[in-house]
A and B are shown apart, each in its own frame.
Chain A
Amino acid sequence: MAREIYAYKCRLCGTMHYPFRMVCKECKANDFFEFDPVPLPKSGTLLTHTTVYNLPAQYEVATLGLGVVELENGMRMLGQLNIEQPKIGMAVTGTVEVVRKETYDDFYGMVFTAA
């Protein structure tokens, strides 16, 4: 089964949210459970990026590529990059993979490669 990262669509005004919010940032409707999950698109363009050399304690790799991607639907997300030479504006596609391990837990997130 392909894993997805979800955005959340307000049932009242249709505004998409990522990350999840309890209250819609547009219409401020604050009834409970007023959002429908919608999978985020997997393709987009790279908006900015970095290679991190000083990683938090849990990581055993020396460097980590990170970038912000503007997805096809205009939303943005942060993801790990598996790209040799990232360039601003390049096309990328993502898959959902393990991005962090903490003791017994795996955390899934988007990892982008060059499209």
Chain B
Amino acid sequence: MSVDLEKILRPVDSPMKPYEPKYMMLASGEAVVVRQVFRDEIPDLLKHVEPLLHVERDYYDVVAARVYAELLGYYQHRFQDQYVLALQVNGELAAIVNGRQVTPKLGLSLHTLALRRGLRIGAHGFAAKMQYHIDDLGHDEVLVVAESPIGFRRWMIEYKLEKRFDVPHELGGVPSWALTRELFDRVRSKLVVGRRPVPADILEKAMEKILPPSDPPTPPADPLAATRAMYDATATALVQQRWEMEKGAQDA
């Protein structure tokens, strides 16, 4: 065969300015580093995303499944113009954010996945990627969607995003919201933080190795409990299911 099929399947990435690492202090007094992760380190992220597929709360399952696919797509050269930023505390993975460039003037936010919670790490990650789109890549606008109420509250309300409901978002075809340069400038002083350059020792610790998250989200005690709770406030179905599972275990 003279045609190398891989050449056709593999998208050609547009030149994108690399993300310059920054760091900030968390409420705990620890420093979190935001840095870009390239293809070679993607497998290190994947192994920490995989367990979250089974966390049926706060839409971790949906988001983890999609992030896994996006990261794998990037790693295998099946995703065009994607970038991935990792947030690390003492080297430990604390959050992953990613997005992609649609056109040189239009960015698209993919996901924000927080592996450590309660310290606004996800919010810092989201702010960092918006800053990357607007300031570094020079996009006029970034398309955003939320898959969880937490995300909706953070992005749509805190950033006062504009509706772009005529544009179906790449994630599931749902109506898009947009962060424009003007909106970003309005919230910049309040929501976007970080210091550069990152002190050498902190950066070195982050670059050395992506360590596993120390306290990642775990599945709820009962499978499906979180999703069902909305419809089954009395939990009859939940108890029933548990009986069936126990019965099944005895039979087996």
Contacts and interface: CB of A to CB of B under 8 A. Distances in A.
Contacts of A62: 157-158, 160
Interface string A47-75: 00000000000000010000000000000
Nearest to B160: A62
3 contacts: A62-B157, A62-B158, A62-B160
Contacts of B157: 62
Chain B, interface size category, equals: under 10
A62 B158 CA distance: 7
Nearest to B157: A62
Interface in B30-70: none
Interface string B159-170: 010000000000
A57 to B, nearest CB: 10
Interface in A57-107: 62
Contacts of B160: 62
B247 to A, nearest CB: 40
Q: Which 3 A-B pairs have the closest CB atoms?
A: A62-B157, A62-B160, A62-B158
Interface in B111-158: 157-158
A101 B157 CA distance: 19
Nearest to A62: B157
B130 to A, nearest CB: 17
A62 B152 CA distance: 12
Nearest to A63: B157
Nearest to B158: A62
